[in-house]
Structure 1
Amino acid sequence: METQSIPWREKVQLIVRFLRGSIHYFVVALLCACLGMVFNALTPQVIRLTVDSILGAEQPSLPAFLQPLLPLLQAQKLHALWLAAAAVLLLALLRGFCNYGQRTQLSRGSESFVKRIRDGLYDHIQHLSFSWHTAHSTGEIIQRCTSDVDVIRTFVCNQLVEVVRTVFLIILYLVIMFRMNVRLSFVALAFIPIVGLSSGVFYRRISGRFQAADEAEGDLTTCAQENLTGVRVVRAFGRERFETDRFCEKNEKFASLWIRLGRLLSVYWASGTLLTCLQVMVIIVCGIVESVHGNMTLGEFLAFISYNEALSWPVRSLGRVLSDMSKAGVSLDRVGYILRAPEEKDAPEAAPHSAAGDIVFDHVTFGYGETPVLQDVSFTIPQGSTFAILGGTGSGKSTLVHLLDRLYDLQEGRITIGGVDIRSFTRESLRSQIGLVLQEPFLFSQTIRENIAATRPGAPQEELRSAAAIACVDEAICEFPEGYETLVGERGVTLSGGQKQRVAIARMLMQRAPIMVFDDSLSAVDAETDAKIRAALHESLGKATVLLISHRVTTLMQADCILVLDGGRVSELGTHAELIAKPGIYRDIYDIQMSSDDRRLLGKEGV
Structure 2
Amino acid sequence: MRAYADNDYPADHKPDWKVISGLWPYLAEYRGRVVLALVFLVFAKLATVATPIALKYIIDYLDQNRGDELLLWIPVLLVVIYGALRFGSTLFGELRDAVFARVAERAMRRISLRIFRHLHQRELSFHLDRKTGGLARDIERGTNGISFLLRFTLFNIVPTLLEILMVAGILLVAFNVAYVVAILVSVVVYVAFSIKVTEWRTRFVREANARDNQSNSRAVDSLLNYETVKYFNNEAFEADLYDRDLEDWEQARLKNRLSLATLNAGQALIIGVALITIMAMAVQEVALGKITLGDFTMINAYLIQLFIPLNALGFVYREIRQALVNVERLFKLLGDNPVVVDKPDAPPLIVDNGKVCFDHVDFSYRQDRPILKDVSFTIPAGKTLAVVGASGAGKSTLARLLFRFFDVDNGSIRIDGQDLRDVTQDSLRAAIGVVPQDTVLFNDTLYRNLAYGRPGASEEEVHHAARLAHLETFIHSLPEGYETRVGERGLKLSGGEKQRVAIARVILKNPPLLILDEATSSLDSISEQAILGALREISRQRTTLVIAHRLSTIRDADAILVMDAGRIVEAGHHGELLARGGHYARLWEQQNCSEQSNADL
- TM-score w.r.t. structure 1 length? 0.91
Alignment partner, residue 405 of structure 2: 407
In structure 1, the residue matched to 2:142 is 148
Corresponding residue for residue 365 of structure 2? 368
**1:38 maps to which residue?**
46
Select 1:248's aligned residue among 209, 227, 243: 243
Partner of 2:172: 178
Q: What amino acid is aligned across from residue 358 of structure 1 in structure 2?
A: K
Amino acid at match of 1:364: V
Q: Which AA in structure 2 matches 1:526?
A: D
Three-state SS of the structure 2 residue aligned to 1:459 is coil
CA separation of 1:108 and 1:390: change in aligned 2, threshold 3 A: same
Q: Which moved more, 1:6-15 or 1:413-422?
A: 6-15
Of 25-34 and 249-258, deviating more is 25-34
Aligned to 2:437, the other structure's residue is in SS state coil
The residue aligned with 1:50 is 58
Answer yes or no: is 1:116 the counterpart of 2:113: no
Of 21, 28, 35 in structure 2, the residue corresponding to residue 20 of structure 1 is 28
Return the offset for 1:523: 1.1
The corresponding residue for 1:337 is 332
* 2:318 paired with 1:310: no
Could you tell me whether the CA contact under 8 Å between 2:389 and 2:562 is conserved in 1? Answer: yes
Q: 1:510 is paired with a residue of what secondary structure?
A: helix
Of 396-405 and 354-363, more deviation after overlay is shown by 354-363
Distance 1:255 1:388, change over 3 A: same
Aligned pair partner of 1:562 in 557, 560, 563: 560
Does structure 1 residue 352 correspond to structure 2 residue 348?
yes
In the alignment, which residue of structure 2 is the partner of 1:187?
Answer: 182
Residues 295-315 of structure 1 deviation map (CA, whole Å, 9 limit, x = unaligned): 212211121111112112223
CA distance in structure 2 between the partners assigned to 1:15 and 1:145 by the alignment: 16
* Structure 2: runs of 5 or more not aligned: none
Q: CA deviation at 1:504?
A: 0.6
Cα offset, 1:599, TM superposition: 12
Asked whether 1:505 is paired with 2:503, we answer yes
SS at match of 2:520: coil
Give the structure 2 partner of residue 270 of structure 1: 265
Q: Which amino acid aligns with 1:216?
A: R
Say whether 1:165 aligns with 2:162.
no
Which deviations, in whole Å up to 9, do the C-alpha atoms of 1:220-268 show, x marking residues without a partner? 2222221222222222222211221122122222222222122222111
2-structure distance, mates of 1:310, 1:459: 63
Separation in 2, partners of 1:242, 1:327: 34
What CA distance in whole angstroms lies between the structure 1 residues aligned with 2:171 and 2:315? 24
Residue equivalent to 1:542? 540
Aligned-residue offset at 1:159: 4.4
Counterpart-to-counterpart distance in 2, 1:596 and 1:307 = 89
Is residue 202–residue 323 contact of structure 1 (8 Å, CA) maintained in 2?
Answer: no
Give the corresponding residue for 1:296.
Answer: 291
Equivalent residue, structure 2, for 1:29: 37
Residues 365 and 413, structure 1, Cα contact 8 Å, conserved in 2:
yes
Q: Name the counterpart of 1:107.
A: 101
Equivalent pairs: percent with the same residue? Answer: 30
Whether contact under 8 Å (1:437, 1:518) holds in the other structure is: yes
Task: Give how far 1:185 is off.
Answer: 2.5
* Structure 1 residue 446 corresponds to structure 2 residue 412: no
Which of 525, 528, 541 is the equivalent residue of 2:523? 525
Contact 1:206 1:323 in 2 (8 A): no
Q: Distance in 1 between matches of 2:595 and 2:116?
A: 50
1:228 paired residue number: 223
Per-residue CA deviations over 1:302-360 (Å, capped at 9, x if unaligned) read 21111112112223333332232220121122101111011442123631232334322
Match of 1:201 in 2: 196
Question: Does the CA contact (< 8 Å) of 1:109 and 1:157 recur in 2?
Answer: no
Give the residue type in structure 2 aligned to 1:470.
Answer: L
1:250-300 per-position Cα deviation (integer Å, ceiling 9, x unaligned): 222222222212222211111000000000011121112222233212211
Distance (Å, rounded) in 1 between the aligned partners of 2:594 and 2:437: 26
Which stretch of the first structure deviates more once superposed, 219-228 or 265-274? 219-228
Is 2:86 aligned against 1:92? yes
Aligned to 1:285: 280
Residue 443 of structure 2 aligns to a residue whose secondary structure is coil
Letter in 2 for 1:375: K
Cα drift, residue 43 of structure 1: 2.6
SS at match of 1:93: helix
Aligned counterpart in structure 2 of residue 377 of structure 1, from 364, 375, 378 = 375
Deviates more, 1:15-24 or 1:301-310: 15-24
CA distance in 2, matches of 1:363, 1:503: 35
8 Å contact from structure 1 (residues 184, 283) kept in 2: yes
Check conservation: 2:204, 2:256, Cα contact below 8 A. Answer: yes
Question: Does 23-32 or 591-600 show the bigger shift?
Answer: 591-600
Deviation for aligned residue 1:108: 2.9
- Structure 1 pair 488–187 and aligned structure 2 pair: CA distance change class (3 A): same
Paired letter, 2:289: G
Structure 1: gaps spanning 5 or more residues: 59-73, 602-607
Task: Give distance in 1, aligned partners of 2:14 and 2:128.
Answer: 24
Contact 2:198/2:263, CA 8 A, preserved across alignment: no
Deviation at 1:569, TM superposition (A): 1.4
C-alpha RMSD over aligned residues? 2.4
Letter of the 1:126 counterpart: H
How many angstroms apart in 2 are the aligned matches of 1:260 and 1:25? Answer: 41
Name the residue aligned to 1:70: none
For the structure 1 residues 546 and 84, does the alpha-carbon distance in structure 2 shift closer, same or farther, using more than 3 Å as the test?
A: same
How many angstroms apart in 2 are the aligned matches of 1:309 and 1:347?
A: 61
Following TM superposition, by how much is the alpha carbon of 1:489 offset from its aligned partner in structure 2, in angstroms? 2.4
CA distance in 1: counterparts of 2:275 and 2:132, whole angstroms: 51
Candidates 305, 320, 327, aligned match of 2:315:
320
Distance 1:132 1:35 in 2: 50
Q: CA deviation at 1:42?
A: 2.5
CA positional deviation for 1:534: 1.0
Q: CA deviation at 1:57?
A: 5.1
Cα 1:75–1:28 shift into 2, 3 Å:
farther
Which residue pairs with 2:476 in the alignment?
Answer: 478
Partner AA of 2:95 in structure 1: G
- Quickly say closer, same or farther: Cα 1:437–1:380, change in 2 above 3 A: same
Q: CA separation in 2, counterparts of 1:126 and 1:10?
A: 27
Whether the aligned pair in 1 keeps the contact of 2:152 and 2:316 (CA below 8 Å) is: no
Given that residues 22 and 113 in structure 1 are in contact (C-alpha distance below 8 angstroms), is that contact kept between their aligned partners in structure 2?
A: no
Q: Which amino acid aligns with 1:120?
A: R
TM-fit CA distance, 1:433: 0.8
* CA distance in structure 2 between the partners assigned to 1:540 and 1:79 by the alignment: 92
CA–CA separation in structure 1 for the residues paired with 2:363 and 2:350:
25
CA distance, structure 1, for counterparts of residue 540 and residue 580 of structure 2: 32
Compute the displacement of 1:160 (Å): 4.0
Alpha-carbon distance in 1 for matches of 2:104, 2:394: 49
> Which letter does structure 2 place at the counterpart of 1:161?
F
**Residue 384 of structure 1 aligns to a residue in which SS?**
coil
Q: Is the 8 A contact 2:17 2:324 kept in 1?
A: no
Q: Shift in Å at residue 425 of structure 1? A: 2.0
Q: Which residue type is aligned with residue 240 of structure 1? A: E
Cα offset, 1:503, TM superposition: 0.5
Contact 1:25 1:109 in 2 (8 A): yes
- Indicate the residue corresponding to 2:465 in structure 1: 467
State how far apart, in whole Å, the 2-side matches of 1:154 and 1:511 are: 43
Matching residue within 389, 394, 400 for 2:387: 389
Residues 99-139 of structure 1: CA distance to partner in whole angstroms, max 9, x if unpaired?
32133234333222211221221122222222222232222
Letter in 2 for 1:387: L
Pairwise CA distance, 1:483: 2.0
| CA 1:539–1:310: 2 relative to 1, 3 Å | closer
Q: Tell me which amino acid in the other structure corresponds to 1:362.
A: D
Residues 385, 546 of structure 2: 8 Å contact kept = yes
Q: Is the 8 A contact 2:386 2:546 kept in 1?
A: yes
1:269 partner letter = N
